């Protein structure tokens, strides 16, 4: 079904839309600001679960009484567990956590070098910490209340994922690992730089073959299967 401007305008006027806000590093010094910002969103928007999205795409009926809101916390920083998830828990918000699985796999002593080599931004106040990334136990704990998905294995951009080995490392193994650790489905993936589905046929097919149902981009949360 093609949705034109009139349909979009009507949906916005009726509150049938989804606001997705992307965050990256959220250190302890940012906790008061983050809490205030998320609390403001929680007053005007309804938290959205994966079941809500699946129901909408299956029926075409928006299942909530307000516009939806999804906070997304990227990379797999340790402060996902110490700052972002607890604030979302307190506010009753379901967040999405796209994590770089090889960052989590990386020994703590090597995490800064891995971050520097893979476009993972760090903040000064955390550089002296004994660990920068989540542990897999923390990933499992976050997944009890939130949605954890891969942000590829290595924080890779779509054009660098071409060979079967690339696809396995960046798309297939990360999904399998997250599902094994959390006991939950990892329904979505997202590339470095947020490339949308529908622009690279080879990689699009690899995403579908890996079993993903959603793809997050800079401007969309796409239902792809």
Interstrand relation of 221-223 and 214-216 (parallel, antiparallel or unpaired): antiparallel
Burial tier of 207 (Cβ tally within 10 Å: 0-12, 13-18, 19+) = buried
Strand partners, 149: 98
CA dihedral 115, 158, 175, 114 (to 10 degrees): -10
H-helix or E-strand containing 43? Answer: helix 31-44
Token pair belonging to 74? 């990227």
List the pLDDT tens digit at each of the 225 positions of the chain.
Answer: 344 556 556 656 665 678 999 999 999 999 999 999 999 999 999 999 999 999 999 998 888 889 999 999 999 999 999 999 999 999 999 999 999 999 999 999 999 999 999 999 999 999 999 999 999 999 999 999 999 999 999 999 999 999 999 999 999 999 999 999 999 999 999 999 999 999 999 999 999 999 999 999 988 899 997
Place of tokens 């938290």: 47
Token pair belonging to 4? 């034109």
Where does 44-164 show beta strands of DSSP type E?
46-47, 68-73, 96-99, 147-150
Token pair belonging to 12? 């916005």
With a threshold of 0.75, does the pTM exceed it?
A: yes
Interstrand relation of 214-216 and 188-189 (parallel, antiparallel or unpaired): parallel
Domains detected in the chain: 15-223 (3.20.20.370)
Place of tokens 């954890």: 148
């Amino acid at each position: 079904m093609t949705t034109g401007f009139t349909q979009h305008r009507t949906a916005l006027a009726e509150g049938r839309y989804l606001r997705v806000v992307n965050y990256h590093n959220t250190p302890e010094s940012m906790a008061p600001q983050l809490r205030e910002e998320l609390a403001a969103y929680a007053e005007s928007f309804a938290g959205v679960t994966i079941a809500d999205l699946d129901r909408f795409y299956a029926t075409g009926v928006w299942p909530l009484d307000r516009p939806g809101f999804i906070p997304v916390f990227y990379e797999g920083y340790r402060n996902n567990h110490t700052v972002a998830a607890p604030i979302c828990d307190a506010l009753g918000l379901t967040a999405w956590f796209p994590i770089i699985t090889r960052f989590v796999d990386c020994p703590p002593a090597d995490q800064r070098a891995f971050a520097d080599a893979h476009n993972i931004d760090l903040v000064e106040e955390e550089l002296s910490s004994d660990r920068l990334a989540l542990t897999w136990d923390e990933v499992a704990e976050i997944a009890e209340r939130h949605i954890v998905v891969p942000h590829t294995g290595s924080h890779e951009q779509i054009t660098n994922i071409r060979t079967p080995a690339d696809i396995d490392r960046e798309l297939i193994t990360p999904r399998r690992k997250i599902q094994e650790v959390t006991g939950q489905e990892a329904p979505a993936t997202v590339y470095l730089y947020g490339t949308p589905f529908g622009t690279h046929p080879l990689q699009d097919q690899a995403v579908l073959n890996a079993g993903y149902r959603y793809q997050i981009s800079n401007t969309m949360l796409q239902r792809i299967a």
